[in-house]
Amino acid sequence: MNKESNLYTVIYAGVLVIVVAAALAFTNQALKETQKKNEDIDKKIQILRCLNVTANTKEVEAKYDELIKESFLVNKDGSKAEGDAFKEDIAKAYANGTALPVFVAKVDGATKYVFAMRGTGLWGPIWGYLSLNDDKNTVFGTDFSNAGETPGLGAEISTSKFSSQFAGKQIFKNGEFKSIAIVKPGKTAEGQDYVDGISGGTITSQGANRMIYDSLNNYVEFIKQNN
Amino acid sequence: MNLFSAKNKEILLAPISKKNPVIVQMLGICSALAVTAKLEPSIVMAVSVVVVIAFANVIISLIRKTIPNRIRIIVQLVVAAVLVTLVSEVLKAYAYDMSKQLSVFIGLILTNCILMGRMEAFGLNNGPWEAFLDGVGHGAGYGLILIIVGFFRELLGSGTLLGIKVIPQIFYNWGYVNNGLMILPPMALITIAVIIWVHRARNKDLQEK
């Protein structure tokens, strides 16, 4: 058989691709469940981090069950929706403005409300969680994650140095939703609370700024009606 | 057939010192700079690279007589890409934190010059057992340097090893300070340079005239 003929080359490439695709699909299916479990654990760690609670992989399940008392879904108009808040796909929820997850936690006897956020950074999605005190105005804690921001620059939003700035800031001023601005270090924002952005991570900071506004804006009706 | 004949031993062991891919052949420097700020990711990266190079080499060697010459680079790339994806999937399932830390770099094993170089230069022309030894040897040679660099960078940069504090508190009380520069990539380059210096000083035959 002529190894260099066009027919052989084309068939060879075709068979190779099919074998490879089958192998990858099989592994993906076989490992999916374990990977999903890891992602869920990671999500719980993030939610706990926004409540200023650190947990490692082993203790996270117990701590999560202990602190998170209730979770439900709300629509943009403030009405409740059916479904499991933890499993809900946040990206899809924001696209439709429906079924947005809310987690209610009790930390040291005080009620905290956790809201999910999602937006875009420079290279890809960024997301996070923000918790409010029971006045539903003052921020208790935040946590930010990113898929592929530049390490050392935009990816710094995932550090506690950045996220800890939010504690104590208020998202409403005189009963009006203002969000919290992320400004260039040294600058100020008029009429709303603000924190310092990341030097050298301008686009990511702007993305996080937009993310906080857009995400919390979806919850405004829900927050108002319960006050 | 002798599995560990003198020739096979040479194939396995030469890349660890005299033909080391990083400090003699100057390959794979990029990833060596990126992942070595801590010892633990260095070790995981080293193991991943050993696995990927060894199996990629074996697979290429097994199918070497069927590969059409014109698309051989594409075939090598596909084989390497599959293995890298598999490693990444397995890490995601069993070492999630590690996979989050290494995510980009695991993907970059694919572009690691050592990997393609060994498949093209060795896997295509030799039997599977020799190819396996060659892959393990080169992976180990690369991994060894990674681990040495990771060891010094974590020790001097953070005062820890594998996350455990090893420099006693009393040193800090006396005024010792962790060298933050060690965590930055440039110091990995300098650490590798020092390793090369020591290595050449001990192996006179490697010195250029």
Sign of CA dihedral B48, B154, A52, A130: negative
Q: Answer whether residue A159 is part of any domain.
A: yes
Find the CB nearest B89 among A4, A13, A28: A28
On chain B, the residues whose CB falls within 8 A of the CB of A16 are 75, 78
* Inter-chain CB pairs, A–B, below 8 Å: 53
Residues of A in CB contact (< 8 Å) with B are 3-4, 8-9, 12-13, 16-17, 20, 23-24, 27-28, 31, 34-35, 38-39, 41-42, 57, 148
- What does the pLDDT look like over A106-162, one tens digit per residue? 888 888 899 988 888 888 889 999 999 888 889 999 999 888 777 667 778 888 888
Domain span including residue A145: 69-225
On chain A, the residues whose CB falls within 8 A of the CB of B78 are 16-17, 20
Does the pLDDT at position A67 exceed 80? yes
Give pLDDT, residue A151: 67
**What residue type is A216 in one-letter code?**
L
**What residue type is B55 in one-letter code?**
F
Backbone angles phi, psi at A88, to 5 degrees: -60, 135
Does the pLDDT at position A25 exceed 90? yes
- Give the rounded percent of residues in chain B with a pLDDT score beyond 90: 4
Inter-chain contact B71–A9, Cβ cutoff 8 Å? yes
Domain tally, chain A: 1
Q: How many CA atoms lie within 13 A of A161 on its CB side?
A: 11
**What residue type is A64 in one-letter code?**
Y
Q: Answer whether residue A47 is part of any domain.
A: no
**Residues A155/A161/A165/A166 CA torsion (nearest 10 deg):** 50
- What does the pLDDT look like over B161-183, one tens digit per residue? 877 788 788 888 888 877 777 87
Q: Answer whether residue A200 is part of any domain.
A: yes
Angle at B160 between CA B158 and CA B161, to 5 degrees: 130
Domain ranges in chain B?
Answer: 21-206
Question: How many Å from the N-terminal Cα to the C-terminal Cα in chain B?
Answer: 40
Question: How many Å from the N-terminal Cα to the C-terminal Cα in chain A?
Answer: 80
Q: How far is CA A214 from the centre of its chain?
A: 13
What does the block give as tokens for B72?
């051989």
| Residue in B closest to A32 by C-alpha | B93
Residues B91 and A95: their CA atoms lie apart, in Å, by 31
Q: Answer whether residue A49 is part of any domain.
A: no
Single out the residue of A98, A121, A102 nearest to residue A111, CA to CA: A102
What does the block give as tokens for B41?
């990711």
Backbone angles phi, psi at B25, to 5 degrees: -85, -10
Q: Answer whether residue A64 is part of any domain.
A: no
Give pLDDT, residue A26: 93
Confidence band, pLDDT 50/70/90 cuts, at residue A29: very high
On chain B, the residues whose CB falls within 8 A of the CB of A45 are none
Tell me B122's DSSP state: I
Inter-chain contact B69–A3, Cβ cutoff 8 Å? yes
